[in-house]
Each structure stands twice: as structure tokens, then as C-alpha cells.
Amino acid sequence: MSSGYWPQTYFYWPQTYFYWPQTYFYWSIGIGTALFATINDTVGITDTIATVKGAVRSIVDSVGISDTIAKIGTYIRTLADTLGMTDTINTARNLERALTDDEGITDTTATSKGAIRNIADTVGITDILSHVGTFIRNIPDTIGITDAITTIKTAARNIADTVGITDVITSKKFVLVALADTVGITDTLTIIGTYIRSIIDGVGITDVLAKIGAYKRSIADTTGITDTITTTKGVFRSVANTVGITDVLSAIAGKVASIADTIGITDIITFIKTRIVTRSLRISGNAKSLKISGEDKSLKISGPGD
């Protein structure tokens, strides 16, 4: 009698331990303690207006026409000849005859502009020359076409705009974020010419340009800033700044140019580009310090225990 043993097989699963990193945020802010963070944003605007120039084009077309007409000439000649003879016969016994012939010929030529010649001959000869002819005519015809393209020129304007944003964060028992935004715009205009230009700048912004000349220019600028603050365990700040500048060129004599400018854009006439800049604000800290940082700047605030 035999006994059978099944081999025992043990399966061991490897044990994997996952450790989640624990992050602790301790807020220790005393009453009456103000936290200040200053964020300076600079937005540069450069406008370049390209001059549209068209070369004056002159087209001269020559059309040559040569007419050759063969000469058709027909000579009509009529001869009417008359001979006048006078015979004198003397009768004698011996019948002597004497002949005396007189011929008188007189030619008179009369010339007219029509090249018709009349010949009157006393002999009785009349020549009539009938001339049907035209001159060989060579007519060079020249057709001149001149295309004049009026050159549209605009003065290059270089605008350097500076937008400064100052954020003041005040902290009490809970985090309060107060945003005080200041927008400063400085326009620098370089004009070559004799045009008098008046600029009225404001926050908000409408520029009115007055010129003595045939060109009228109206600039309407609009600056919009939207701040969104969401408070949970951390303070998040989303700032979406949009600066739209629209330049309208109204010209007397049929010249119209429209320029649309946006933040950080180099504008050439007939192109419109827009860029939206979104920045973030991060706040982190522990029991001893508080750190506020943005995309390109940071601020660290330490407490008494640091």
C-alpha cells in the first residue's frame, strides 16, 4: 500500500509598498501682520508701419502703320493735228506751179497743282494728261500709354508702451488679496515732416491725432485687465491682460490704412495679431515662512521662528 503526496506549491506575491509624500502646510499668520508682494509686469509695444511704395510705371506702346498704295496712272492723249496749207498756183503756159507751205507751231504749257497739263498747239495738237495717282503714304502712328501709380506713404511711428502692474497683498487672519493695478503708457512719436500732431493719452485709452494736412488719423486704445482670485488651501491668481490698440488712418484723396496693434506685437499694415498673456501666482509655506512666487519673480516672507 502506497501513499501519494501532492507536492505543495506556495505562491509568494511580492509586496509593493507605495508611500505618498505628505505635504503639510502650516499657516502661522499673526493678527495685524501685513504681507506685501510686489509684481512688476512690463509689456512693450512696438509699432512699425511699413511704407507702401509703388514705382511710377510708364508704358509707351508704338504701333507703326505703313500704307503702300500702288500708283495707278493712265495717260489719255488726244492728238488733233491740223495742217493748214495754202497753195498758190500760177498758171502759165508751161504750167508752172509754185507751192508755199507755212507751218506755225506755238506751244503753251500751263501747270496746275493737280499735275494736269494742258498743251494748246496751234498746229492742232491737244494733249490731255489725266493723272489718277496717290502718293505713297507712310504713317507712323504712336500710341502712348502712361500709367501713374500714386505712392501711398505713411510716416513710420515707433511707440514704446510700458505697462506697470503693482500687486499689494494684505494678510490678516485669513489671506486677503488686494490688487492695485497701475497702467502707464508712454508714447514716443518721431515725425519727419511739417505735420502738427496732437496726442491725448489716458488710461483707457483714446488717442486723437489732429493734423494740418490731408491726412486724418484716429487711434482708439483699450486696456482690459481681468483678475481672478480663488481661495482654498492655496491662493491662486490668474491675470489675463489684454491691450488692444486700433489705429485708423483716414486720408483725403482716397487713401485709407487700418492698423491694429496688440501687446508685444510688431504690426505691419493689413496684419492683425493678438496674444493673450496669462500669468500665475503660487503661494507655499510652512510654520516658519511663506513664499509667494510668480512665473518670473518670487517673494519669501519669514516669521519669527525662522
Tens digit of each residue's pLDDT (9 = 90 or more) over 79-106: 555 555 555 555 445 444 455 555 555 5
Confidence band of 296 (pLDDT split at 50, 70, 90): low
Domain ranges of the chain: 46-52+151-162+184-295, 63-147
Cα gap 206→223, rounded to integer Å: 10
What does the pLDDT read at residue 274? 47
What does the pLDDT read at residue 302? 61
Question: Nearest to residue 71, comparing CAs of 18, 160, 133, 2?
Answer: 133
Cα gap 25→94, rounded to integer Å: 182
161 residue type, one letter: D
Confidence band of 65 (pLDDT split at 50, 70, 90): low
Let me know the angle formed at the C-alpha of 153 by 148 and 155, rounded to the nearest 5 degrees: 170
- Whether residue 142 is predicted with pLDDT greater than 60 in this model: the reply is no
Let me know the angle formed at the C-alpha of 17 by 12 and 19, rounded to the nearest 5 degrees: 180
What does the pLDDT read at residue 196? 45
CA torsion sign for 29, 30, 31, 34 is: negative
Measure the N-to-C terminal CA separation of the chain; round to a whole number of Å: 83
What does the pLDDT read at residue 305? 54
pTM to 2 decimals?
Answer: 0.13
- Whether residue 141 is predicted with pLDDT greater than 50 in this model: the reply is yes
Q: What are 192-251's pLDDT values in tens digits? A: 544 444 444 444 444 554 444 444 445 555 555 545 544 444 444 444 445 555 555 444
Question: Which of 38-47, 179-188, 190-199 comes out lowest in average pLDDT?
Answer: 190-199
Q: What would the 3-class secondary structure string for the chain be?
A: CCCCCCCCCCCCCCCCCCCCCCCCCCCCCCCCCCCCCCCCCCCCEEECCCCCCCCCEEEEEEEEEEECCCCCCCCCCECCCCCCCEEECCCCCCCCCEEECCCCCCEEEEECCCCCEEEEECCCCEEECCCCCCCCEEEEEEEEEEECCCCCCCCCCCCCECCCCEEEEEECCCEEEEEECCCCCCCCCCCCCCCCCCCCCCCCCEEEECCCCCEEEEEEEEEEEEEEEEECCCEEEEEEEEEEEEEEEEECCCCEEEEEEECCCEECCCCCCCCCEEEEEEEEECCCEEEEECCCCEEEEECCCC
What does the pLDDT read at residue 185? 57
Cell 506755225 identifies what position?
A: 104
What does the pLDDT read at residue 198? 46
130 residue type, one letter: S
What does the pLDDT read at residue 251? 44
Please, are residues 75 and 129 in contact by the beta-carbon 8 Å criterion?
Answer: yes
Please enumerate in sequence order all residues whose Cβ is within 8 A of that of 215, keeping only pairs 6 or more positions apart, or say none.
195, 249, 250, 251, 252, 255
